[in-house]
Amino acid sequence: MTAVTWWGHSFVTIELPGATVVTDPLMSRRLFHVRRASDPPPAHATRADLVLISHLHHDHLHLPTLRRFDDAVPIVVPRGAVQAVRSLERLQTIEVVPGDRLTVAGVDVEVLPARHDGRRDKRPGAAEATSLGFRFGRDGTTCWYPGDTGVMDFAAVEPVDLALVPIGGWGPSLGDGHLDPEQAVEAVRAVGARWILPVHHGTYWPVVLRSSGPTHEQWFQRPAPRFRAAAAGAGLGARVVMPPMGVRTPLPRGTMPV
């Protein structure tokens, strides 16, 4: 059995058989110009055997959050990340590039490309830190997390049990290098997944923008229902898992939704 907990944005805990993996953890109430619309994750959200970081943007590689994990937890990061973010030197980092395959903490990890400018503040070395996606698993249970990415040819990714697919941003516009809800559905359909959890939506909002009105509705409230509707239209609706933030949800591997 696999269980999944979405903590908001792209922070997800995936409980594989015998190992727990976390993606792009972020626990801050506020990050520069954006504020979290819900309570931050509790302390136990930092329990993990492995952390995967897709790129260097502050909402995906958040040093204060990473420092809250146990010092022994390995953190997989894009190659060049340690040069660009010197504080990473004090953490258990493993630098990778697309095409790498490795086993860390008992988890098999395939590193995938992503179409996203993930540089951090244009610091020296940041240009070398390519944005990543991941396909990972253990004991036959698999997961796909593409990180932030624009539209790509996802058909080369082998089918998985669980897909964590980004469907939005923190608006007033989505910008390049991201998937909107409809594009996210097409990406998952190209890959194939037993279960689908949409991420990267409905968590942070700019403090200078009103938390009501058409802009907030379009870019904060609507991505989730748009994704659900698009998934239903593509015949994937029964596979979508959208639990409230922080709610642990078991996903029985032996049951394929119809």
Enter the pTM of the model: 0.95
Size (the chain), residues: 258
The pair of three-digit structure tokens given for residue 195, joined into one six-digit string: 């279960």
- pLDDT for position 173: 79
The domain of 107 spans: 2-245
For the stretch 173-217, pLDDT in tens is 787 899 999 999 999 999 999 999 999 999 999 999 988 899 999
Q: What is the CATH number of the domain that holds 73?
A: 3.60.15.10
Does residue 251 lie within any of the structural domains?
Answer: no
Does residue 176 lie within any of the structural domains?
Answer: yes
- pLDDT for position 129: 84
Specify whether the CB–CB gap between 172 and 204 falls below 8 A. Answer: no
- State the DSSP H helix or E strand holding residue 166, giving kind and residue range, or none if neither: strand 160-166
Does residue 256 lie within any of the structural domains?
Answer: no
Does residue 45 lie within any of the structural domains?
Answer: yes
Mind giving me the DSSP string for 217-247?
IIIIISHHHHHHHHHHHTT-GGGB--PPTT-
Ordered per-residue pLDDT tens for the chain, 258 residues: 689 999 999 999 999 999 999 999 999 999 999 999 999 999 999 999 999 999 999 999 999 999 999 999 999 999 999 998 989 999 999 999 999 999 999 999 999 999 998 888 766 655 668 999 999 999 999 999 999 999 999 999 999 999 999 999 887 778 789 999 999 999 999 999 999 999 999 999 999 998 889 999 999 999 999 999 999 999 999 999 999 999 999 998 654 443
The pair of three-digit structure tokens given for residue 80, joined into one six-digit string: 């060049």
Does residue 43 lie within any of the structural domains?
Answer: yes
- pLDDT for position 1: 60
How many structural domains compose the chain? Answer: 1
